[in-house]
Structure formats: C-alpha cells, structure tokens
Amino acid sequence: MNIVPIGDIQFTGMQGASDIDRLAKHIKWALEQNAIFVGMGDFSDFLSPSNKLRLRQAGLYDTAEEVIDNAAITIEKELMEVLRPTIGRWMGFIEGHHTYTSLDGTTTGQRFARFLQAPYLGDSAILRITFREAAPSHESVSLKMFVHHGHGGATTYGGILNRLERFAARFPDVQLIMTGHHHQVIVQPMDSLDVTSKGEPYLFHKTRMLVCTGSFMKGWMQGHKIGGRPQGLYPEQKMMPPTALGAPLIIASPKVLRSHGHKIPVVDLRGSV
C-alpha cells in the first residue's frame, strides 16, 4: 500500500505562495501509484493562531464577519477543486494551526474532510490498516500510524527528529509517526528489536518510520511584493530555512516471516521523497 501525506499547502489563492502546479502534479503521480492520502492540516492560510485571537477581540459587526467568512470559504473552495480527483481516497484529516472556524461552526479541516468524503480526525489520531490474506490462510498483519499536525519551533533536522524520536518512545507499537508543521521532508527509519512470545525465543526486528511531511508553500520568493513594494514572506522575514516543497511516499509491505518454526507478521516500511 502506498500512503501519501499532504499538508501545509497554506493556500491563499491561485496567485499566492502555494505551489499549486507542483501539488497538482504530485496528486496525479500519487493516483497513478494507487496511493491513499492523509490530510496533515494547514490546507489554507487564512489566519494564524495569533491572528485568530486578535480577530476575536476586535468586536466586529455581523456584516464584517460575513465578509470575512465569505472570503475564507471562497479560498477553500478554490483549493477543493484542485483536490477533487482525490475524492474518496483519504484516510482522514487532521486539523492544523492555520484553521478558520466559519460562522456555521465548522473548521477548515471539517470542511475539507466533508468535501473529500473522509473522516475528520481532530487534533491527532492513531490509524490502523489491516492487511488480510484470502482463504485458506486468512493470515493478517496490521500497520499502526500516529498522525498529528506537529508543534514547536525547531528549524534543524536534528531538532525536529529529536522531538519525534522522544515522542515515538511513548508509542512503542506504532510503526509510522507522521507530523507536518515544520515544512521539511524527513523520512527516518528507526528499527526496534523484539523476541517471539512462544516456543524457543527468536530475535526479530521491526522497522518504524519517523516522517515529517513537507509543504507546498514557497518560503522564499525572488522579487516578491506586498502592496507593490518588495517584501518577503514570513520565512524570509524571520530567517527561517528554505521550504522543502513536496511530500513523501510511504510504502507499506505486509509480510509473514517464517523462521525457526515461528511465524512473525510484520509490515516492512519504506520511505521515499
């Protein structure tokens, strides 16, 4: 099974900083691989957490709130059309930081989940995929995935992986841990050892994956202007590292190992970008 996480598009319109051409090509390629998708949050970039706080404190008239609501929903609908070919192929949607709660009470993540016919997963989820052989064996093996939008201000690969590695220790049976947020593509295998629980002990290993799922928002843009004057986006203003555009592909291969009389179901994981 091919799994493609997508998040941090941070769409503000077709002329904004999101690399929509790259996103559309990536989706087309993923569909050719018969992939399933996972929504990692921050699909639109209408309001940051601090902007949302200021907006709530502004005490706007109802008419002003309606104008803002219409603008936010219009932006989301433009991106939905880009994602339309993937309807029905999503395992679910995680909420991000740059989410907008509309006047009807729904969030950005809920609206994308509804349009793409996928479960809305809230802030995090453990997803389980069960591979099962047909008769007569009916043998099965499961892949457990933890998905979260991500958190924290780390900007180096080491800082990002340190947080993921420490967190992975709390979920020893989860083989795939995926977060977004950092706008970097990182696929780091991490093996663990175990022994069989019956008969003569037999040592075996399981491969786990720590994955940071990238972004489709351009961080540094040559000649970028706001209001007609040269001005960079916030990654440039804050001296943040260049964005890793794109998303990884996770390949899950179910196997039943047979050695020393033991049958050991495992899911071999491979990651590519």
pLDDT at 194: 85
Query: What pLDDT, in 10s, does the model give residues 232-252?
Result: 988 889 888 888 899 999 999
Determine the Cα–Cα distance for residues 155 and 171; give it in Å rounded to an integer.
24
pLDDT at 94: 96
Query: CA nearest 154: which of 176, 178, 181, 177?
Result: 181
pLDDT at 190: 92
Query: What pLDDT, in 10s, does the model give residues 28-81?
Result: 999 999 999 999 999 998 877 778 778 778 888 889 889 999 999 999 999 999
Query: CA nearest 97: which of 54, 55, 44, 145?
Result: 44
Query: CA nearest 37: which of 99, 101, 86?
Result: 86
Query: What pLDDT, in 10s, does the model give residues 6-29?
Result: 999 999 999 889 999 999 999 999
Contact 117, 89 (CB under 8 A): no
pLDDT at 263: 83
pLDDT at 11: 96
More confident residue, 251 or 155: 251
Statement: residue 5 has pLDDT above 90: yes
Statement: residue 265 has pLDDT above 80: yes
What is the chain's Cα-based Rg? 21
Letter for the amino acid at 65? Answer: E
pLDDT at 136: 83
pLDDT at 76: 97
For the segment 93-111, the average pLDDT, to the nearest whole number, is 94
From edge to edge, which strands make up the β-sheet containing 140-148?
Answer: 124-132, 140-148, 176-179, 203-213, 185-195
At 184, the pLDDT band (50, 70, 90 cuts) reads very high
